[in-house]
Structure 1
Amino acid sequence: MSISTIMVTLTTLCTAVMIGLGFLQRPSREAAIWSCGFIAAMAATYAQTSTALLDTAWLDALGDGLMLFSLGLVWVGIRVRRGRRLVLLPAMIGGSVVVTVTVALTTGTAVEDLVGNVELVVFTAVSAAITIELVGIRHAPRGVIVPLALSSGIVAVFSVVWLCVDLVGERLVTDDQLPVTEQFTPVVMAITLVTALTTLLLLTRAENPAAVTVTVPGFRTIARDRLTRAERYDDAWWSLLDVRLDDPIALREASSAQAYSRVLDRFFSDVSAVFPAEADLHAIEPSRVLVLLPRHEAAVRPLLRALLERVATVSTDQSITVRLSASIGWASVSRVGYDLDDLIAAAAAAADEAQLAGGDRWERASMIV
């Protein structure tokens, strides 16, 4: 079996695994981008294999452009995962097109070697950028990001070494003594594919806490400011609620990723619809929401009952045909005090009690002595 056939098989297999076990199981923006990256790598090997048969410069150039685009999509997806506002996807598309056209037009000309060196520099930069972005992911186990980070670093070093060989190696040894770069390219590509599949698949199937951590400082700052002013004016009409969807793990295992995602969306929508506009909402987890509510205690109870009824109502378009329920922990300023951390801890303890009691209920936090 030839090297080209092995690479076609490997890229096809990696693409199928990434789409089947990654994107379809846990659909997300970054998973879609990474899946497209594997599709681009697969198409690149098809183009490179066809080049040997058709001997067309444009096919060879297309293979190079698609391979660069594949690496670029890995980088773009990681930036999306980190919550970057500027992900530079159009720049990667444009750069890949420019590389394809330039390589095709300069094949067989006097500047072919120069263009090849520039292309090597671009690959080095993208590989180094992938390593840097991966290291910057704070909420992923080190063991998850190490495979791709290490292989991307190796690709960058490989590219630098062969750039040096192209520039100065021929002055020191004869052409016959120089190893051919293409001999090592399939090995480097195979290592990158396997490590990319390992890291990106694990990242796709892991929970992404980025959206949660971005909003925590803002919520805490606003909540503390409100409670400080409430204490100053002796305003005890404040409560903190810990609202949790019951049995989220069982729901996730009993349904598809898309159906479970719709359940979570509906849960947050129900919470948003029940509480008034002046309430501050913060999703600690997709299935858990904190609510800072400026209401007298007598006005809180009807809201809690309304929320439990709303969550438990089975709608016609519900993605999971089971009755959902929620547990609520209620900590009021009159019982716990104005300290935000005390309120969060008390509400969490009360929510735990509600879940241990079977869920679909609310429990009120005890008064701190």
Structure 2
Amino acid sequence: MINTHASVSFAVLSLLSTGLVIGLGFLSRPSRATSIWAFAFTLTTIASFGWVAADAVGSLPLRAAASGALLGAGAFVWVGLRAWRGAARLYWLPVFAYAVASTILLAATATTAHYALIFRLDFAIAGALAVLVIVELVRLGSERRDEALPLALASGGYVAFSILALIDGGVRYAQSGTMASAAELGFVRDLNSLGSIFYVVCALVTVLLLARTTPAAAGQRTASCFTDVAADRLARARAAGDQWWSVLDIRLDDPDDLRDASNSIAFAAITEGFARDVRASLPADADIEARGDTGFVVLLPRPEGAVRQVLSQLLARVAAADAEQPTNVRLSASIGWASVDAVGHDLDALLEGAAGRVSEAQQRGGDRWERTQIAG
């Protein structure tokens, strides 16, 4: 007997989750990742109402087809994670083929003695895809650990249940020579319904949190724009014999320690405050590029004395106590300064020089700036 209440609850939850992913994810932050996630949740909703319809008419093939579609929907979450990370290959075509094959095979074998075997193998493939989801979540890095945690836990449970399903099938076959027919899998179906509810909730939390943040690919596009503008300005400065240009590499000190000492929301507030302080301390004609959440590269058209004043004000502003700061730890920054009169007008050389000096500043304890020296 199929648990109708669990199926209806799952259908309602899936419908609500799909609306949230489309409204708060795709419509407000349209991208390849959010569009794929919206499709995954839409497919989940269709599958969940397929379960309800199967309960109403007592159709095992329809129930099996809905289960196959649901297993395929989880694979599209993995594709969306790759899209959010900016991976070159998304593998959406193999995933789509798997979702279609899963639906057809389970529906075709629902009333045969082979259904239990096909279902367990299909569930094992879905478990392998859940492992890939965990791998993608790990690749997001420690700065996204709180966002990744709900889906990572759900995917871990998915993997565990897929392994248990294979073990259970092997034990049943060894004892009775069969893995049970479709009609005898009521407990597995009920467990699948409850597990699907848990997975959808966890996936919803992770997907919405990631959808509301900026993926790495956006930062790469910004970097390309900054490079083009900065290189053009330096080329014109070289032609005019203008030596009053500098590149600054500004980094928040001890970001890993700050992240470990706080949660994602608190660390995001710290980095947002740091970004405000940096931008507020720099003149309007400075070109600024964000390097991740805790660093900036700046092209600054100022003479030496004015640059020194800007650096002193910036360090003081970052270190100043803020009542809205979510941690009692005193913040500080380190700055690497490479000037045209010391390095030349080549942008790559200026960036390399500034990066070397900021590393030196951090090794000396941070909360300071270091400058490239003029040769000779």
Normalised by the length of structure 2, the TM-score is 0.63
Q: Deviations over 1:136-161 (max 9, x none)?
A: 57678x9xx9xxx9xx9799648615
Task: Select which of 12, 31, 38 maps to 1:84.
Answer: 31
Q: How many pairs are equivalent?
A: 302
Q: Deviations over 1:43-101 (max 9, x none)?
A: xxxxxxxx74xx53x64354467679989999999999x99366136655555445444
Corresponding residue number in structure 1 for 2:207 = none
Report the Cα distance in structure 1 between the residues aligned to 2:124 and 2:13, rounded to whole angstroms.
16
Task: Select which of 326, 329, 346 maps to 2:333.
Answer: 326
Give the aligned residue type for 1:228. Answer: A
Task: Select which of 291, 304, 308 maps to 2:311.
Answer: 304
Corresponding residue number in structure 2 for 1:104 = 52
Corresponding residue number in structure 1 for 2:263 = 256
Counterpart contact for 1:330–1:362, Cα < 8 Å:
yes
Check 1:131–1:190 CA distance in 2 against 1; reply closer, same or farther (3 A cut): closer
Structure 1 residue 114: deviation in Å?
6.0
Secondary structure class of the residue paired with 1:281: strand
Report the Cα distance in structure 2 between the residues aligned to 1:181 and 1:76, rounded to whole angstroms.
39
Structure 1 residue 225: deviation in Å?
1.2
Report the Cα distance in structure 1 between the residues aligned to 2:56 and 2:313, rounded to whole angstroms.
74
Check 1:286–1:213 CA distance in 2 against 1; reply closer, same or farther (3 A cut): same
Corresponding residue number in structure 2 for 1:357 = 364
Report the Cα distance in structure 1 between the residues aligned to 2:313 and 2:370, rounded to whole angstroms.
15
Corresponding residue number in structure 2 for 1:36 = none
Normalised by the length of structure 1, the TM-score is 0.64
- 1:217 to 2:224 alignment: yes
Counterpart contact for 2:14–2:41, Cα < 8 Å:
no
Q: Deviations over 1:327-358 (max 9, x none)?
A: 11111112211100000011112222222333
Structure 1 residue 126: deviation in Å?
3.3
Corresponding residue number in structure 2 for 1:22 = none
Report the Cα distance in structure 2 between the residues aligned to 1:321 and 1:196, rounded to whole angstroms.
38
- 1:268 to 2:275 alignment: yes
Check 1:116–1:67 CA distance in 2 against 1; reply closer, same or farther (3 A cut): farther
Task: Select which of 247, 262, 268 maps to 2:254.
Answer: 247
- 1:202 to 2:143 alignment: no
Corresponding residue number in structure 2 for 1:344 = 351
Counterpart contact for 1:327–1:355, Cα < 8 Å:
yes
Structure 1 residue 220: deviation in Å?
0.7
Matches within 5 A, 1:155-174: 157=98, 160=101, 163-164=104-105, 166-167=107-108
Counterpart contact for 2:17–2:41, Cα < 8 Å:
no
Report the Cα distance in structure 1 between the residues aligned to 2:95 and 2:32, rounded to whole angstroms.
28
Corresponding residue number in structure 2 for 1:179 = 115
Corresponding residue number in structure 2 for 1:32 = none
Report the Cα distance in structure 1 between the residues aligned to 2:117 and 2:95, rounded to whole angstroms.
15
Secondary structure class of the residue paired with 2:115: coil
Secondary structure class of the residue paired with 1:240: strand
Structure 1 residue 233: deviation in Å?
1.9
Structure 1 residue 304: deviation in Å?
0.8
Give the aligned residue type for 1:163. Answer: I
Give the aligned residue type for 1:84. Answer: S
Q: List alignment gaps of at least 5 residues for structure 2.
A: 144-214
Corresponding residue number in structure 2 for 1:60 = 7
Give the aligned residue type for 1:323. Answer: R
Check 1:353–1:135 CA distance in 2 against 1; reply closer, same or farther (3 A cut): closer
Corresponding residue number in structure 1 for 2:197 = none
Structure 1 residue 310: deviation in Å?
0.7
Report the Cα distance in structure 2 between the residues aligned to 1:160 and 1:71, rounded to whole angstroms.
23
Secondary structure class of the residue paired with 1:160: helix
Report the Cα distance in structure 2 between the residues aligned to 1:97 and 1:138, rounded to whole angstroms.
25
Counterpart contact for 1:333–1:343, Cα < 8 Å:
yes
- 1:290 to 2:297 alignment: yes
